[in-house]
Structure 1
Amino acid sequence: MASKYPEIQGGGSLILAWQVRGKNVLVIGGGEVAAGRIVHVLNADAHVTVVCPRSGLNDEVAHRIAAGQVTHIDRPFAPSDLDDAAMVLCAVDDPAASTEVYQLCQARRIPANIADVPPECDFYFGSVHRDGPLQIMVSTNGNGPKMANIVRRKVAEGLPENAGAAILKVGELRRKLREVATTAEEGPKRMKWMSKVCEAWPLEDLCDMDDGDMEKLLGHYQEANVPSLAQIRAG
């Protein structure tokens, strides 16, 4: 008899939107892989420290340092570098040194990613599509990074060009709604009404919605009604 509940598929990862804003992220290495990792964590507003001899920096990492986007420690890794780290990203071509970093992180309970060594990773970097607030990650759980890139491009090709802009407007409307319906008891009703807006309005109308339209739309919240943009502007 088929179950009405989702089937469990073991062997996956728990994919989360990890908030590292304002946290200290340590990057060990300064090559191409390190450069990609740095972009990811800078986009998440982390404080980034790169430990690598200057001779090992590629052009992109050197640019981040010169622009003051990251802090640079000009020497090989030392265990004391972990003292203030909330996350460690290791990208060096030295398996023994990488394993040492991972073991030190495990002992200190610091989440770590050791590039190209899946068994020594507490988390993986997937292939990410970014459009403003919209982020979509494709992960192969360490099996095939190139395949993740291919799948991510296919997914991105199927998305509307204005998806990110529409999400920005939805976020603004949601914040305004919280000012109208402030109590915790209103939570379920807020969520249900916002879902109706997202389902009823096309992306083009969400993008075109201005502050005046939002105020008029919010006037229909108490009745749980969701008129169209044309109806709001006609009224």
Structure 2
Amino acid sequence: MNTMFPIFLKMSEITTLIVGGGNVGHEKLAAILKNSPDAVVTVVSIEFGEELLDLAKDFPSVTLEKRPFEISDLDDHHICLCATDDYDLHVKIQEECNKRKMIVNVADTPPLCDFYLGSVVTKGDLKIGISTNGKSPTLAKRMREFLEDALPSETQSLLDNLKDIRDKLTGDFQDKVKQLNDITQKVFDKKE
């Protein structure tokens, strides 16, 4: 059973450190920026791949530091993602993150992770996270593709209309929830 707790973070209000600037570092940075273009990210690496350099140049909130990782790099960050091929370094970083109460993701090493980056489906303001508990990123990717195709293109219009309705509802909280449940149920009844 997947006991992970899903959350959505305001990445522009916290700071993230990525250690490693190769293919995996690029993959992690791309996933963050696709979902949160204003994310504040520092990438520390001895070398940077061309793809990561190309990606980072379009995002002013991304800082690249070309040098070896230092423990002090963890200062002032909330999240750390390890993306090198140095397992011993990852263990050291994970231990330091634990001491500092930082959450850490270590690429391809689930036992060292506090969290996983899942696949994400986005249709306007609707965002759905998919997790396989670290067991099969490939299945998560296929589920994302399926849901992207299955969700109607008018999802954003539906969300906008429901927000307008919600803003006009009267009554206490429970009454509003009941009214919104009734309205959204009618939307899904039409699909059958």
Q: TM-score, normalised by structure 1?
A: 0.71
Distance of 1:17 and 1:173 partners within structure 2: 24
Who is 1:156 aligned against?
148
Who is 1:209 aligned against?
none
Q: How big is the shift at 1:69?
A: 4.0
The DSSP-based 3-state class of the residue aligned with 2:105 is strand
Distance of 2:188 and 2:113 partners within structure 1: 41
**2:180 is equivalent to residue 194 of structure 1:** yes
Q: Deviations over 1:51-82 (max 9, x none)?
A: 113xx222332123323240111212111111
In the TM superposition, 1:144-183 aligns within 5 A as 144-174=136-166, 176-177=167-168, 181=170
**Corresponding residue to 1:52 among 45, 57, 82:** 45
**Amino acid of the structure 2 residue aligned with 1:157:** D
Greater strand content: 2
The DSSP-based 3-state class of the residue aligned with 2:53 is helix
Q: How big is the shift at 1:198?
A: 1.9
Query: How many residues were matched structurally?
Result: 187
Structure 2 vs 1, CA of residues 11 and 200 (structure 1 numbering), >3 Å: closer, same or farther? closer
Q: TM-score, normalised by structure 2?
A: 0.85
Structure 2 vs 1, CA of residues 156 and 12 (structure 1 numbering), >3 Å: closer, same or farther? same
Who is 2:107 aligned against?
115
2:121–2:129: 8 Å Cα contact kept in structure 1?
Answer: yes
**Amino acid of the structure 2 residue aligned with 1:90:** C
Q: How big is the shift at 1:171?
A: 2.9
The DSSP-based 3-state class of the residue aligned with 1:52 is strand
Structure 2 vs 1, CA of residues 139 and 40 (structure 1 numbering), >3 Å: closer, same or farther? same
- Compare CA radii of gyration and give the structure with the larger one: 1
The DSSP-based 3-state class of the residue aligned with 1:112 is strand
Distance of 1:144 and 1:26 partners within structure 2: 25
In the TM superposition, 1:1-235 aligns within 5 A as 10-42=1-33, 43-44=35-36, 45-53=38-46, 56-67=47-58, 68-174=60-166, 176-177=167-168, 181=170, 186-201=172-187
Distance of 2:163 and 2:32 partners within structure 1: 23
CA RMSD between the two structures: 2.3
The DSSP-based 3-state class of the residue aligned with 1:73 is strand
Distance of 1:132 and 1:11 partners within structure 2: 27
The DSSP-based 3-state class of the residue aligned with 1:29 is strand
Taking every aligned residue pair, what percent have the same amino acid on both sides?
30
Distance of 1:138 and 1:31 partners within structure 2: 25
**Amino acid of the structure 1 residue aligned with 2:88:** A
Structure 2 vs 1, CA of residues 200 and 77 (structure 1 numbering), >3 Å: closer, same or farther? same
Distance of 1:190 and 1:150 partners within structure 2: 36
Unaligned runs of 5+ in 1: 1-9, 205-235
